[in-house]
C-alpha cells in the first residue's frame, strides 16, 4: 500500500505499539468468533435433548467470560492504535509548521494561505483517520474474514462456504473501481476547500477596505461562487461515497440468499446439522462487517492517500535559503555591498543594480527614493530572505558563508506591514525577548515614544490588541513594533518606513532616542519623510534600483538633486 510506504518513517518508530495493538486486535477477533460456535453446539444439544443444567451454566458462563475478555482487550488495542494515530497527526502538523517557518517569501507567493490552512487541518485529519481507523479496519476485517472462513470451510461445510462467497469477486472489483474515482474527486474537493479558506482570510483581513468601497454584495457573490464550487466538488465525492453501502448491501444480501438456500438444502440432505446452519449464518452475518469495512477502508485510504500526497507535495519544496554557512561572527563590525545586484524570482528586470556601500559599526544609513525604487529590497538582503552571491560581505566574509541563525540573530526588523499578534501589548513587545526584565521593557517603550499611549490604554500593558492589532491606531502599531525591535537590542536595526504614521514631533523624539541608545550599533532607516534620515552618517538615494545620490544631508542639499528637491518640497508642505 502506497500510504504505508509514505509513512514508514513513523511506523518504524512506533512498530512496538502497532505490533502490540495488532496482536491484541487479532486475539480479540479470535475470541469474538467463539460465541457462534458455542451457540451452534447449544442448539444441537437442545435438538438432541442432551442439554443439562450444568452444561447450560457452562455455556452462559463462557459467553459472559468471552464478553468481558473481548471488552478489556478491545479497550487496550483501541487506546494504543488510535492514540498512535493522534500522535502521527501531531508530528505531521509539527513538521508541516516547521517547514512553513523555514520557507522564504517566494514560497508564499506561490501558495495561498487558505490552501495551507486546509493542509494543516482537513488533510492532516484525513491522514490521521487512515492511520487509526484505516489500520484497524484493515487488520480487523482481514482477521475476522480469515477466521470466519476457516471455521465455516473446515468445521461446517466447504461447499456451502464456497457458494456463499461467489459474489465476493464482484464486490472486490466494485470497491477498487469506486476507490479510484473517489481519490481524484477528493483531491479536487480539498483544492476547492483551500480556495474557499483563502477567500475567507482575504475577506476578513480586508474587511475595512471592502466596506469603504461598499463592496459587501460583490464580496458575498464572489464567496457564494466559491462555496458553490466547493459544494459541487463535494457532491461529486458524495455521489461516489453513497455507492459503497448500496453495492455492499446488494452483494452481501446475495451471499445471505445463497447461504440460506443452499444451507437449508444441506440440512435436508443431512450434510450439516441445524446447529451448524445457525452457526454458519451467524458467521456469515459477522462477515458483513468485514465486507462493509473493506469498502470503507478503500474510501478512507484513498482520501488519506490523496491528502498525504497534497501534504508531501508541499513538504518536498526546499527553501530558497538554507543555513549552509559554518562561520559564526559575534559582532558585525563592517558591512560591504560590493556591486550588489538582485532580481526577484520570476521578475523580468533587476530590482537592485550595482549597489556599492561600506558601513562601519555604529553608523546610521538613510535610504530614500521614490516608491518602487528598491529600498525595502535592499534591506531584505541583510535578512537573507533570498539567495545571494558574494556581493554582500560582513567583516569581509560572504554573508552566505555565515550561519543563517547568526545573521538573523543580529537583526531587528520593523517592516512596513506591522504584524501584531492577538495578545496583550506586553506579549507583543516581549516577542523574541522573553528574558527581558521589566526595566528593559519600560526602556524600550520609552525609546519608541509609546509610554504615553500605554497610560491611556484601558488595561495598560495587559490590553489585548486584537487580531493584527485592530484595537490600535496606525501610529501605535508602528511604535509598538519599534519597541519590540529595540527590546531585542540588535546589532543591526532595520527600520523600513516605520515612522510614516507618526507626527513630526514624535518622529523626532524616536530618532533622538535611537541615535542616543544605538551609538555603538548599526542602523538602517528607510523613509519617505526625509527628516527621519537627515542625521544619518550616509544617505543613499535609490531610483530604479540604482544609487543616484550619496552623502550626508548637507552634502546632498548642496547638490540640488532629487534629495534637495524633495526636502524643500516637504518643508514647504509642513
pLDDT tier at 169, thresholds 50, 70, 90: confident
Question: Grid coordinates in use for 159?
Answer: 461447499
* pLDDT recorded at residue 1: 57
pLDDT tier at 574, thresholds 50, 70, 90: low
- With a pLDDT cut of 90, the percent of the chain lying above it is 12
In this predicted structure, the answer to whether residue 156 has a pLDDT above a threshold of 80 is no
Question: Grid coordinates in use for 188?
Answer: 479536487
Q: Which letter does DSSP use for residue 421 in this model?
A: -
Q: Which CATH architecture has domain 334-573?
A: 3-Layer(aba) Sandwich (3.40)
Q: 501 exposed, middle or buried (CB, 10 Å; 0-12, 13-18, 19+)?
A: middle
Could you tell me which residue, 560 or 295, shows the higher pLDDT? 560
pLDDT tier at 538, thresholds 50, 70, 90: very high
pLDDT tier at 34, thresholds 50, 70, 90: confident
In this predicted structure, the answer to whether residue 256 has a pLDDT above a threshold of 90 is no
Topology of domain 2-315, CATH: ABC transporter transmembrane region fold (1.20.1560)
In this predicted structure, the answer to whether residue 521 has a pLDDT above a threshold of 60 is yes
Count the alpha carbons within 13 Å of 192 in the hemisphere toward its beta carbon: 21
In this predicted structure, the answer to whether residue 221 has a pLDDT above a threshold of 80 is yes
- Rounded Cα–Cα distance for residues 101 and 323 (Å): 13
User: Which residues, in sequence order, are CB contacts of 58 under 8 Å at separation 6+?
Assistant: none
* pLDDT recorded at residue 251: 79
User: Which residues, in sequence order, are CB contacts of 343 under 8 Å at separation 6+?
Assistant: 349, 350, 351
Question: Grid coordinates in use for 211?
Answer: 466596506
Mean pLDDT, the chain, whole residue set: 83
In this predicted structure, the answer to whether residue 572 has a pLDDT above a threshold of 60 is no
CB distance 415 to 498 below 8 Å? yes
- Rounded Cα–Cα distance for residues 375 and 257 (Å): 80
Domain map (residue ranges) of the chain = 2-315, 334-573
Question: Grid coordinates in use for 247?
Answer: 453495492
- First-last CA distance in the chain: 72
Buried b (16+ CB within 10 A) or exposed e, 254-278: ebbebbeebbeebbeeeebbebbbb
* pLDDT recorded at residue 500: 80
Phi, psi (5° rounding) for residue 422?
-80, 65
- Please give the model's pTM, rounded to 2 decimal places: 0.69
Q: How many CB atoms lie within 10 A of CB 295?
A: 23
In this predicted structure, the answer to whether residue 367 has a pLDDT above a threshold of 90 is yes
In this predicted structure, the answer to whether residue 517 has a pLDDT above a threshold of 80 is yes
- Rounded Cα–Cα distance for residues 490 and 485 (Å): 7
* pLDDT recorded at residue 289: 67
Helix (H, G, I), strand (E, B) or coil at 240: helix
Could you tell me which residue, 140 or 446, shows the higher pLDDT? 446
- Rounded Cα–Cα distance for residues 257 and 218 (Å): 59
Q: How many CB atoms lie within 10 A of CB 433?
A: 17
Region 227-253 average pLDDT:
81
* pLDDT recorded at residue 368: 93
pLDDT tier at 365, thresholds 50, 70, 90: very high
CB distance 565 to 532 below 8 Å? no
| Alpha-helical runs (H) found in 49-104 | 53-102
Q: Angle at CA 96, nearest 5°, toward 3 and 485? A: 175
pLDDT tens digit sequence for 104-153: 878 877 887 777 888 888 888 888 877 777 777 777 777 777 777 777 77
Region 386-405 average pLDDT:
88
* pLDDT recorded at residue 494: 92
Count the alpha carbons within 13 Å of 573 in the hemisphere toward its beta carbon: 10
In this predicted structure, the answer to whether residue 495 has a pLDDT above a threshold of 80 is yes
* pLDDT recorded at residue 208: 64
Give Cα separations from 453 to 442, 456, 457, 573 (angstroms). 13, 5, 7, 27
- Rounded Cα–Cα distance for residues 28 and 36 (Å): 14
* pLDDT recorded at residue 537: 92
* pLDDT recorded at residue 364: 92
Region 330-353 average pLDDT:
88
- Rounded Cα–Cα distance for residues 464 and 467 (Å): 9
Dihedral over Cα of 64, 65, 66, 72: its sign: positive
pLDDT tens digit sequence for 283-333: 777 776 676 666 667 777 777 888 888 888 888 888 877 777 778 888 899
Strand partners, 493: 412, 523
Region 544-568 average pLDDT:
91
pLDDT tier at 157, thresholds 50, 70, 90: confident
pLDDT tens digit sequence for 195-205: 887 787 777 76
Amino acid at each position: 500500500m502506497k500510504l504505508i510506504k509514505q509513512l514508514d518513517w513513523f511506523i518504524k518508530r512506533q512498530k512496538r505499539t502497532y505490533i502490540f495493538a495488532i496482536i491484541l486486535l487479532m486475539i480479540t477477533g479470535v475470541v469474538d468468533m467463539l460465541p457462534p460456535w458455542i451457540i451452534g453446539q447449544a442448539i444441537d444439544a437442545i435438538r438432541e435433548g442432551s442439554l443439562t443444567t450444568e452444561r447450560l451454566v457452562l455455556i452462559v458462563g463462557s459467553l459472559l467470560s468471552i464478553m468481558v475478555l473481548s471488552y478489556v482487550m478491545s479497550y487496550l488495542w483501541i487506546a494504543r492504535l488510535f492514540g498512535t494515530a493522534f500522535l502521527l497527526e501531531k508530528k505531521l502538523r509539527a513538521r508541516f509548521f516547521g517547514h512553513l517557518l523555514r520557507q522564504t517569501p517566494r514560497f508564499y507567493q506561490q501558495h495561498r494561505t487558505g490552501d495551507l490552512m486546509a493542509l494543516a487541518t482537513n488533510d492532516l485529519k484525513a491522514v490521521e483517520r487512515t492511520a487509526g481507523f484505516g489500520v484497524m479496519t484493515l487488520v480487523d476485517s482481514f482477521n475476522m474474514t480469515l477466521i470466519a472462513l476457516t471455521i465455516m470451510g473446515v468445521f461446517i461445510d466447504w461447499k456451502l462456504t464456497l457458494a456463499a462467497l461467489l459474489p465476493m469477486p464482484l464486490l472486490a472489483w466494485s470497491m477498487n473501481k469506486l476507490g479510484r474515482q473517489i481519490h481524484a474527486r477528493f483531491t479536487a474537493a480539498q483544492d476547492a476547500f483551500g480556495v474557499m479558506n483563502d477567500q475567507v482570510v482575504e475577506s476578513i483581513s480586508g474587511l475595512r477596505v471592502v466596506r469603504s468601497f461598499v463592496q459587501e454584495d460583490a464580496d458575498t457573490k464572489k464567496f457564494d461562487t466559491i462555496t458553490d464550487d466547493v459544494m459541487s466538488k463535494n457532491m461529486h465525492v458524495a455521489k461516489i461515497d453513497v455507492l459503497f453501502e448500496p453495492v455492499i448491501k446488494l452483494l452481501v444480501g446475495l451471499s445471505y440468499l445463497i447461504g440460506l438456500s443452499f444451507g437449508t438444502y444441506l440440512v435436508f440432505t443431512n450434510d450439516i446439522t441445524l446447529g451448524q446452519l445457525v452457526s454458519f449464518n451467524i458467521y456469515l452475518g459477522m462477515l458483513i462487517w468485514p465486507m462493509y469495512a473493506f469498502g470503507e477502508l478503500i474510501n478512507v485510504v484513498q482520501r488519506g492517500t490523496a491528502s498525504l500526497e497534497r501534504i508531501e507535495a508541499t513538504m518536498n519544496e526546499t527553501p530558497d535559503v538554507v543555513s549552509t554557512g559554518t562561520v559564526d561572527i559575534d559582532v558585525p563590525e563592517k558591512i560591504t555591498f560590493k556591486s550588489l545586484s538582485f532580481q526577484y524570482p520570476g521578475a523580468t528586470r533587476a530590482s537592485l543594480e550595482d549597489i556599492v556601500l561600506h558601513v562601519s559599526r555604529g553608523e546610521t544609513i538613510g535610504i530614500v527614493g521614490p516608491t518602487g525604487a528598491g529600498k525595502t529590497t535592499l534591506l531584505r538582503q541583510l535578512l537573507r530572505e533570498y539567495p545571494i552571491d558574494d556581493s554582500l560581505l560582513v567583516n569581509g566574509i560572504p554573508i552566505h558563508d555565515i550561519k543563517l541563525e547568526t545573521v538573523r540573530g543580529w537583526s531587528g526588523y520593523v517592516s512596513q506591514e506591522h504584524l501584531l499578534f492577538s495578545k496583550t501589548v506586553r506579549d507583543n513587545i516581549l516577542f523574541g525577548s522573553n528574558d527581558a526584565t521589566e526595566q528593559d521593557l519600560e526602556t524600550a517603550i520609552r525609546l519608541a515614544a509609546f509610554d504615553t499611549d500605554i497610560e491611556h490604554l484601558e488595561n495598560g500593558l495587559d490590553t489585548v490588541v486584537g487580531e493584527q492589532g485592530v484595537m490600535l491606531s496606525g501610529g501605535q502599531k508602528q511604535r509598538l513594533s519599534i519597541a519590540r525591535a529595540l527590546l531585542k537590542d540588535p546589532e543591526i536595526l532595520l527600520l523600513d518606513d516605520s515612522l510614516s504614521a507618526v507626527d513630526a514631533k514624535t518622529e523626532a523624539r524616536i530618532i533622538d532616542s535611537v541615535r542616543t541608545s544605538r551609538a555603538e550599533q548599526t542602523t538602517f532607516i528607510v523613509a519617505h519623510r526625509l527628516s527621519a534620515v537627515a542625521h544619518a552618517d550616509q544617505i543613499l538615494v535609490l531610483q530604479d534600483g540604482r544609487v543616484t545620490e550619496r552623502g550626508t544631508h548637507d552634502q546632498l542639499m548642496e547638490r540640488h538633486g532629487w534629495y534637495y528637491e524633495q526636502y524643500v518640497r516637504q518643508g514647504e508642505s509642513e
